[in-house]
């Protein structure tokens, strides 16, 4: 059977198109995908995972502070960047920040409702996130899991994000106790399996997986590079078992105390397609230094 040919025009007309398995890409289409942060290997080969640098601002920054960050980041960063930048501010800053970051970074939410819009006081639905320009949404961040969010709720949110056209960033990772008991890989596999149980293989390339050991988040400590490489390889292996034909196209990130000092080594690891950054992403100087380290 003849492999479909994708041109740059096709990609411009449908920026979120899912590239069919086995498709060929014209050189201009490959350039465009590289500019958007995809890794494209070989002539006419299909694109591999997007390289991403995602900022999770948690419950920090007012709208004014977010705009000041956008101004300072814009001065330091020259698009297209080697890693696609994504900023996840508090909900209140999404609309304004999206405008301020246009052309420099994409927008993500830190969470989303498991429901469609309706009588769900306090919930922010996928539809509302799309309305203010979000392309991504974190799902199952450890701080939400610590607040009681279980695998079933995480899976529902992931499905809701995919159905709406958002790219869910699924956070997985073990606690210090689970690690001490030698269960890190098993915990990560279980979380992945439960969250992705109902995900169709054709939707999987829109999912981002962030391995975030819970004991490393906000603590200034990280696993060794060999340990990170081991778990990221394990995530890729699990994805291959779920959907071998698309597993290489899923972006797999590391998160947990990433800083300008350790980013170069972490971002160079095989199977690492980027990072999810909390504390160091609040400062445009440190965040752009992490980008430079991974470029």
Name the residues annotated as catalytic.
141, 212
Q: Residue 218, interface with ligand PEP (CB under 6 A)? A: yes
Min. distance of Cβ 271 from ligand PEP in angstroms?
18
* Binding map of ligand PEP across residues 219-258, x = CB under 6 A, - = no contact: ------------------------------------xxxx
Site for ligand PEP in 149-178 (CB under 6 A): none
Q: Residue 47, interface with ligand PEP (CB under 6 A)? A: no
Cβ-based neighbours of 138, under 8 Å, separated by 6 or more = 56, 88, 108, 109, 110, 111, 168, 169, 171, 210, 276
Q: Residue 27, interface with ligand PEP (CB under 6 A)? A: no
Site stretch for ligand PEP (CB under 6 A), options 24-32, 79-87, 229-237, 270-278:
270-278
Give whichever of 55 and 196 is closer to ligand PEP, judged by the CB atom.
Answer: 55
C-alpha closest to that of 192 among 234, 143, 145:
234
Site stretch for ligand PEP (CB under 6 A), options 19-27, 87-95, 96-104, 274-282:
274-282
Buried b (16+ CB within 10 A) or exposed e, 130-169: eebebbbbbbbbbbbbeeebebebbbbbbbbbbebebbbb
- The H-or-E segment that residue 84 falls in is strand 84-88
Q: Residue 274, interface with ligand PEP (CB under 6 A)? A: no
Residue 11 corresponds to which tokens in the numbers above? Answer: 């990609």
Residues paired with residue 167 on neighbouring β-strands, in sequence order: 136
Q: Residue 276, interface with ligand PEP (CB under 6 A)? A: yes
Any idea which residue has 């078992």 for tokens?
A: 241
Q: What is the DSSP string of 189-220?
A: HHHHHHHTTT--TTTGGG-EEEE--GGGTTTS
Give whichever of 218 and 244 is closer to ligand PEP, judged by the CB atom.
Answer: 218
Choice from 108, 205, 278, 284 touching ligand PEP (CB under 6 A): 278
Q: Residue 293, interface with ligand PEP (CB under 6 A)? A: no
Please count the residues of this chain forming the interface with ligand PEP, following the rule CB under 6 A. Answer: 14
C-alpha closest to that of 213 among 273, 155, 254:
254
User: Which residues are at the interface with ligand PEP (CB under 6 A)?
Assistant: 56, 58, 212, 217-218, 255-258, 276-280
């Amino acid at each position: 059977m003849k492999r479909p040919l994708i041109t740059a025009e096709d990609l411009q007309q449908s920026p979120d198109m899912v590239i069919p398995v086995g498709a060929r890409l014209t050189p201009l289409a490959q350039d465009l995908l590289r500019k958007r942060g995809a890794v494209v290997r070989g002539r006419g080969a299909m694109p591999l995972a997007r390289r991403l640098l995602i900022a999770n601002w948690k419950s920090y920054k007012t709208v004014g502070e977010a705009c000041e960050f956008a101004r300072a980041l814009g001065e330091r960063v020259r698009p297209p960047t080697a890693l696609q930048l994504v900023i996840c501010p508090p909900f209140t800053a999404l609309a304004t920040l999206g405008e301020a970051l246009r052309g420099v970074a994409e927008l993500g939410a830190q969470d989303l409702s498991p429901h469609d819009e309706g009588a769900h006081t306090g919930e922010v639905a996928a539809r509302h996130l799309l309305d203010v320009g979000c392309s991504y949404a974190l799902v199952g961040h450890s701080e939400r899991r610590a607040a009681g969010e279980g695998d079933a709720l995480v899976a529902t949110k992931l499905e809701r994000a995919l159905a709406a056209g958002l790219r869910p960033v699924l956070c997985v990772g073990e606690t210090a106790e689970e690690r001490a008991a030698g269960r890190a890989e098993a915990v990560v596999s279980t979380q992945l399996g439960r969250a992705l149980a109902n995900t169709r293989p054709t939707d999987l390339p829109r999912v981002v997986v962030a391995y975030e050991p819970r004991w490393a988040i906000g603590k200034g400590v990280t696993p060794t590079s060999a340990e990170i490489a081991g778990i990221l390889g394990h995530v890729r292996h699990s994805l291959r078992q779920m959907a071998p034909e698309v597993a290489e196209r899923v972006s797999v990130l590391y998160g947990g105390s990433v800083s300008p000092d350790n980013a170069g080594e972490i971002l160079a690891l095989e199977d690492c397609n980027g990072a999810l950054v909390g504390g160091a992403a609040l400062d445009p100087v440190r965040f752009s230094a992490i980008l430079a380290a991974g470029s």
